Amino acid sequence: MKKNILAEIITVGDELLYGQVIDTNSAWMGEELGKIGIRIKQITSISDQREAICEALSAAIERADVVLMTGGLGPTKDDLTKHTLAEYFKTELQLHQPSLDDVEAIFKRYNRPMLEVNRQQAFLPATCTPIRNVLGTAPGMLFQEQDTLICSMPGVPFEMKRMMTDTVLPLLQSHFQLPKIVHKVVQTIGIGESFLAEAIADWENNLPPNLKLAYLPHLAGVRLRLTGVPTAEENLEPLMQAQIEQLSLLIQPYIFAYGEVTLEEAIGQLLKKQNLTIATAESCTGGLVAHKLTSVPGSSAYFMGSVVAYSNDVKTAQLGVKSETLAQHGAVSEETVKQMAEGVRTLLKTDIGVATSGIAGPDGGTPEKPVGTIWIAYSDAHQTLARKINYNKTRLLNIEYTTLQVLNLIRQSLPPTVDQ
Amino acid sequence: MKKNILAEIITVGDELLYGQVIDTNSAWMGEELGKIGIRIKQITSISDQREAICEALSAAIERADVVLMTGGLGPTKDDLTKHTLAEYFKTELQLHQPSLDDVEAIFKRYNRPMLEVNRQQAFLPATCTPIRNVLGTAPGMLFQEQDTLICSMPGVPFEMKRMMTDTVLPLLQSHFQLPKIVHKVVQTIGIGESFLAEAIADWENNLPPNLKLAYLPHLAGVRLRLTGVPTAEENLEPLMQAQIEQLSLLIQPYIFAYGEVTLEEAIGQLLKKQNLTIATAESCTGGLVAHKLTSVPGSSAYFMGSVVAYSNDVKTAQLGVKSETLAQHGAVSEETVKQMAEGVRTLLKTDIGVATSGIAGPDGGTPEKPVGTIWIAYSDAHQTLARKINYNKTRLLNIEYTTLQVLNLIRQSLPPTVDQ
């Protein structure tokens, strides 16, 4: 049994080279392969050209145990991957009846006439093992050369992902007899990577040798991923669960979820569980907090609405912010943002109101309140509180960062649930 | 003078291979190189490892006239690109005083103590030409081997982009004596690629041989890019301008801008020019229309605010939608969405109101109104009109597509300006 399985990814398509399409497939495949313990050596993007495909493929086969290719399997003339692979592996195209049945079924479902070019998609290299595509008309293909597996998949992201999940990843796990690696994810927000590392250093240093921790930072927090490799003696699941519980005690205030959950999903679950409703009053975030909350399916159960109050008139007339407050403290102030949060809660009759007011830039800053000066507030029946943020990157990053901070403020300020 | 200049891109960093970071640098560089007439042969992503860097670099130098590298220039131990390049080009690191001055200035500006690792960033391979980094602490490096130029830049996108724009692209143009290619962009929305191609087929077929058209489709429209290569006889600028004018006549209703302008920026310019104000009333888009409009700097001049009315209570109490209308036609109906647009215009005292109401999914559909049934409306002092959309991809795509359609409805419904 070989220890370190190496993979390479080859993405085919002129659109990738000329920047019309950003290659997101490789990152997704890299992460999924990493999860089953396969290391990526190289990612190569090349043109839809016979020589380019052959050259990249032959170099990758030399270096890697697995080569995953995407792209170039469409029905049009510029899609050359399938013909090139047949030539490379010295074989002929032949009709693969189950693939033809699948293609015909797709056209029947959409009630569209099937053209000869679509029928051609069911012709596959004779020596390949076809991989079923349940979401599109281009089947995948699996080849083997010496000890290397080569797998060609469509470039359409959702077709490729389904094929990987259903067929390719399980196949790689069994072919290479990979250990059944287990991952546990802890989602944090509000603490930087280096502070987090310091807070959990002792715990991390004392991890058993078969458990490893990865720090995956993003705009306002860090995803922690604990990866366990099974050993003969131990049952991995309880071992990892115990470690996660120890970790949780160290950084409890920063954890918003376990597993692959977004912050807005986590908040939605908390609000649903406590049967609470929410509304937002947004100035500088311009509706992005509302958009995030409503991007969660079923959010209409707790999200009632929002007032985006860009002008001071809307702040006073709709949200009831006092003119004296605006005159004395300005729109970007603790006093104003608190009145906005209270105002929207009253106006839309919700349990919770949150608010934002700040200078997102690039213009509008003053010496006392430079660009990046932002106030956020939370209000419920028991309390109204505000927090100041200083953050000045680009206008869009300032807005996105503030939105994450508001979501985090909701999470931190909600009354505790009974079962926590 | 060599005719076809070929480039390769090498991006360095484990985070790219394991999917923690999506490589957006390559797509941007590919597009910029394409604009000055340099073709991309291959994009390669590799690990922060000496052997991987040397192997990829030597293969790229064999194939290409230009090799652009990004990443691995940070101050930490896992950043190996600079040391590896010094070794590869058989030279030593030496202090580059102007770079040290730049690094020191950055630390002074942020009032932070400078560490020895930061000082080390000003040590560069003796045979390279340093490239100034005005936004960060890692200078770029230019090497030449035989006839190939090799350029190493930081992986931080905004630092790399500034370095490319200020230094690398002009340098490549002069080094390779590239023809001064001219691009003109026409932005369209509301017409699919194949219909657009049919509408302008005669015009496209009659283009002079030194002008080429590219179709760059996106979620709700197509960017058209006309590229001109200068000839000895003709002045490119008036020739291309005349062609763009002919093209415009054929597809006038779909054009929202010339050049690299977003739809929300184009609408902002129209509103400013006509001195009009706007407000949005959003149900299914949940605030995304307001977010798009306010993502434009200076939008507070015309955007007053928004009511996100997720619950029917908010639709009636705030926007004045009649209870009978909701009872008789439902929230997702022409009648409701028109009352929402009129209601927000009255409430927030703006010239224009727009509204959305629909079923974004995945739940909430019925046989009569399946997921993807969406109504949008526009209202000003002269007219109120509504349009029905049927679009059913994922929840997020449904929301994004609807948002673009609302923006397009604003553009189409605004009173014509005097000078058009």
Confidence of residue A419 (pLDDT cuts 50, 70, 90): low
Are the beta carbons of B307 and B281 closer than 8 angstroms? yes
Q: Is residue A418 assigned to a domain?
A: no
Residue B1 lies in a domain: no
From A217-226, A374-383, B80-89, B198-207, the region with the lowest mean pLDDT: A217-226
Tell me the CATH number at B333: 3.90.950.20
Interface test with A, best of B294, B302, B403 (most A CBs within 10 A): B294
Per-residue confidence band for A416, with pLDDT thresholds at 50, 70 and 90: confident
Q: Mark which of A223, A258, A293 sits at the end of a domain.
A: A258
Minimal Cα distance from B30: which residue of A? A18
Q: Which of A117, A145, A175 is the last residue of a domain?
A: A175
Separation between Cα atoms, residue A402 and residue A392, nearest integer Å: 10
- Tell whether the model's pLDDT for residue A349 goes beyond 90: yes
**Is B222 inside any structural domain?**
yes
| Residue B418 resides in a domain | no
Distances (CA, A) of A81 to A25, A48, A76, A248: 17, 7, 11, 48
CATH number at residue B24: 3.40.980.10
- Residue B195 — pLDDT band, cuts 50, 70, 90? confident
Answer whether residue A250 is part of any domain.
yes
Rounded to whole angstroms, the Cα distance separating B235 from A113 reads 48
Domain closes at, from B229, B258, B287:
B258
B152 shares a domain with B207: no
In a domain, B233, yes or no: yes
Residue A419 in domain: no
pLDDT at B265: 97
Nearest CA in chain A to B38: A18
Predicted local distance difference test score (pLDDT) of residue A58: 97
From the list B18, B21, B310, the residue facing A304 with the nearest CB is B310
- Claim to verify: residue A113 and residue A190 sit in the same structural domain: no
Q: Are B280 and B355 in contact (CB under 8 A)?
A: yes
Question: What is the token pair recorded at B141?
Answer: 């490096």
Q: B128-175 pLDDT, tens per residue?
A: 999 999 888 899 999 999 899 999 999 989 899 999 999 999 999 999
Q: DSSP class of residue A416?
A: P
Assess whether A170 and A25 both reside in one domain. Answer: yes
Instruction: Determine the average pLDDT of the residues in A283-301.
Output: 97
How far B229 CA sits from the closest chain A CA (Å)?
18
Per DSSP, A147 falls in state T
| B248 and B311 co-located in one domain | no
CATH classification of the domain holding B221: 3.30.70.2860
Q: Are residues B284 and B237 in the same domain?
A: no
Which residues in chain B touch residue A21, judged by CB atoms under 8 angstroms apart? 27
The fraction of chain A above a pLDDT of 70, given in percent, is 99
Residue in A closest to B22 by C-alpha: A27
Predicted ipTM of the assembly: 0.89
Question: Average per-residue pLDDT in chain A?
Answer: 93
Same domain, A71 and A218: no
In this prediction, residue B420 carries a pLDDT of 43
Which residues on chain A are in Cβ contact (under 8 Å) with B56?
A: 42
At residue B74, the pLDDT reads 84
Residues A73 and A40 in one domain: yes
Which of A291, A354, A402 should we substitute to test contact with B (largest number of B Cβ atoms within 10 Å)? Answer: A291
Q: Are residues A358 and A252 in the same domain?
A: no
User: Which residues in chain A have Cβ-Cβ distances shorter than 8 Å to B318?
Assistant: 305, 307, 318, 347-348
**Total count of domains within chain B:** 3
Residue at B83 is within a domain: yes
Per the prediction, chain B carries an average pLDDT of 93
pLDDT at B391 over 70: yes
A29 to chain B: which residues are within 8 Å by CB?
A: 19
- One domain for residues A342 and A245: no
Write down the pLDDT at residue B235: 86
pLDDT tens-place string over residues B258-281: 998 999 999 999 999 999 999 999
Q: Tell me how crowded residue B420 is: count the other CB atoms within 10 A of its CB.
A: 6
Residues B406 and B267 in one domain: yes
pLDDT-derived band at A417 (thresholds 50, 70, 90) equals low
Q: Considering only the beta carbons, identify the residue of B27, B299, B310 that sits closest to A305.
A: B310
With cut-offs at 50, 70 and 90, classify the pLDDT of residue A136: confident
Confidence of residue B418 (pLDDT cuts 50, 70, 90): low
Domain of residue A164 covers 6-175
What does the alpha-carbon distance between residue A46 and residue A67 come to, in Å, rounded to a whole number?
Answer: 14
Q: Are residues A164 and A46 in the same domain?
A: yes
Report the 3 state secondary structure along chain B: CCCCCEEEEEEECHHHHCCCCCCCHHHHHHHHHHHCCCEEEEEEEECCCHHHHHHHHHHHHHHCCEEEEECCCCCCCCCCHHHHHHHHCCCCEEECHHHHHHHHHHHHHCCCCCCHHHHHCCEEECCCEEECCCCCCCCEEEEEECCEEEEEECCCHHHHHHHHHHHHHHHHHHHCCCCCCEEEEEEEECCCHHHHHHHCHHHHHCCCCCEEEEEEEECCEEEEEEEECCCCCCCHHHHHHHHHHHHHHHHHHHEEEECCCCHHHHHHHHHHHHCCCEEEEECCCCCHHHHHHHCCCCHHHCEEEEEEECCHHHHHHCCCCCHHHHHHHCCCCHHHHHHHHHHHHHHCCCCEEEEEEECCCCCCCCCCCCCCEEEEEEECCCCEEEEEEECCCCHHHHHHHHHHHHHHHHHHHCCCCCCC
The distance from CA A370 to its chain's CA centroid, rounded to whole angstroms, is 33
Residue B1 has pLDDT above 70, yes or no: no
- State whether B397 and B299 are in the same domain: yes
- Determine the pLDDT at residue A118: 86
